Amino acid sequence: MIDAATVDKWLTRMSDELRADLGPGAIPELGMVGIYTGGVRIAEQLHARLQLQLPLGTLDISFYRDDFSRIGLHPQVKTSSIPFDVEGRTIALVDDVLYSGRTTRAALNTLFDYGRPARVILCVLVEREGHELPIRADIKGQTLALSVDQRVKLNADDLGLTIRETEPRV
Peptide bond into 110 cis (omega under 30): no
Q: Structure pTM?
A: 0.91
The full set of domains in the chain, from first to last, is 14-147 (3.40.50.2020)
Checking if the pLDDT of 145 tops 70, the result is: yes
DSSP 2: B
Element (H, E) at 92: strand 90-98
Taking alpha carbons only, the member of 13, 170, 39 closest to residue 99 is: 39
Task: Please write the tens of the pLDDT for every residue from 38-91.
Answer: 999 999 999 999 999 999 999 999 876 555 555 455 556 678 999 999 999 999
